[in-house]
Structure 1
Amino acid sequence: MAKNPPTGDNARKGAVKKRSQVLNPKTKLYVKRDAETGRFMDVKTTGGKFKGVRKEK
């Protein structure tokens, strides 16, 4: 059975909490959103999705 790598190796275990992402249809870029307040926080300018952040439907 495989073992998890040691702690402190800067690797995330699981998803980012209290965050979600949604695709902006006008710019075709993903926007990160705070799940508690609903405010938009950041835009992924390089294209693609945010790593470890869940998607909204």
Structure 2
Amino acid sequence: MLRHLRIRFLRLLFLLPLLVLYALAVVPAGLVARLLHDPLHRRPDRRATSYWTLA
């Protein structure tokens, strides 16, 4: 029983810094990247006559 609790505590102790690093580094970087540039080019091209392509 005590060993099981110790393993859970160590797992939490290991994952907590990773969660903080993700929240402080990856999330803001992704938000800034989305604000500056649309990587998937989701905005419609108003000059295009059609989006259909021949297969």
Q: Is the structural similarity TM-score above 0.5?
A: no
TM-score (norm 1): 0.22
- Which structure is larger by alpha-carbon Rg, 1 or 2? 2
Bigger proportion of residues as helix: 2
Which structure dedicates a bigger proportion of its chain to strand? 1
